[in-house]
Structure 1
């Protein structure tokens, strides 16, 4: 079975070499909420058996409801905090991270699939800079 991929848009601080936040579709948020609602023992099995793709497919088949609304775009912070996307939230985050020079910010589109899902899961157990760890190396 071919691995399904989705696109994520990252707002990257080039100077600090970190992800400020990601603009993500509903499916990514549903995936996050699904894997983090599983028991730790199940997550360890996924990591050892490389079954993250199966989890992503399961989310797509769940009566198409998932955990969040379809019509909203979401932002996911580096530490995987999820919020509805808004201009005010974006500006607030830029200020929070002390970005003075907006020319240091760039949009980066990345692909998210089975391999990235496994990396995200492992990074989330080790650091609060999950998106930076997965996508900036």
Structure 2
């Protein structure tokens, strides 16, 4: 079975050593759109509190160090430190995954009922039914239906029949010959010889860097750069 890969074609200005834009398929665009669904607690957990810009890393650490006795019993510290992502459509590219239950790798959300099947639903098994006071411990899964007219087998956020242009600052638009020429004019590219195409392939099972697969390592860098820079693709793929 072939190893899944996320492929990007970067158009690079060799004179400035900057990415002008990337030609990408739905897999990479789905990943970028998934970044917007991450709760802040998940972002801090993925990047680690020491890599966060500003004070949010300190806030996360203070919650880690607080004892469980300080938190409401129906919520718990884990709810704050490991928030659930509201929705990620099935088929989205998993460049980032914490492997946790209901985490980034989850394609469904879990909900809970009381043993008496009263008409109450909770997303935390420690919650109590307001009618019978029993814990809401009967688990069931919520599957989000695809929008009307969308191929449910394809999954993800965007359609796969389209090639997308991803700018260095992560703007996304449909790819076309006219849009490519417009971008070259915008960046005042005078010599075609100054341009270079570079193909990036991120395999899900590639050689590891430290403890991370290469795709996960790149995914973390893309997430981090998107919070700090307007030249994300250049920073991550050219090291500039």
TM-score bucket of the superposed structures, by smaller chain: 0.7 to 0.9
Whichever of the two has the greater Rg, that structure is: 2
Task: Give the CA RMSD over aligned residues.
Answer: 2.4
Deviation by residue 1:81-108 (Cα, 9 ceiling, x = unmatched): 0011101110001110111111100100
**Which residue in the other structure is 2:181 paired with?**
91
Given the alignment of the two structures, is residue 69 of structure 1 paired with residue 193 of structure 2, yes or no? no
Indicate if the aligned counterparts of 2:7 and 2:28 stay in contact, CA closer than 8 A.
no
Tell me, in whole angstroms, the C-alpha distance in 1 between the residues paired with 2:106 and 2:43.
Answer: 15
The runs of 4+ residues in structure 1 deviating greater than 3 Å are 55-59
Taking a change above 3 Å as real, the CA distance of residues 70 and 105 of structure 1, as seen in their structure-2 partners, is same
User: Structure 2-normalised TM-score?
Assistant: 0.50
Instruction: Work out whether residues 46 and 52 of structure 1, in 8 Å CA contact, stay in contact via their aligned partners in 2.
Output: no
Q: Which residue is equivalent to 1:133?
A: 235
The answer to whether 1:109 aligns with 2:152 is: no
Mapped partners of 2:168, 2:105: distance in 1: 24
Unaligned runs of 5+ in 1: none
What is the CA–CA distance in structure 2 between the aligned matches of 1:133 and 1:103, rounded to whole Å?
23
Which structure exhibits the higher relative contact order, with contacts defined as CA atoms closer than 8 Å and separated by 6 or more residues? Answer: 1
Q: TM-score, normalised by structure 1?
A: 0.85
Displacement of 1:122 in angstroms is 0.6
Map of 2:30 onto structure 1: 30
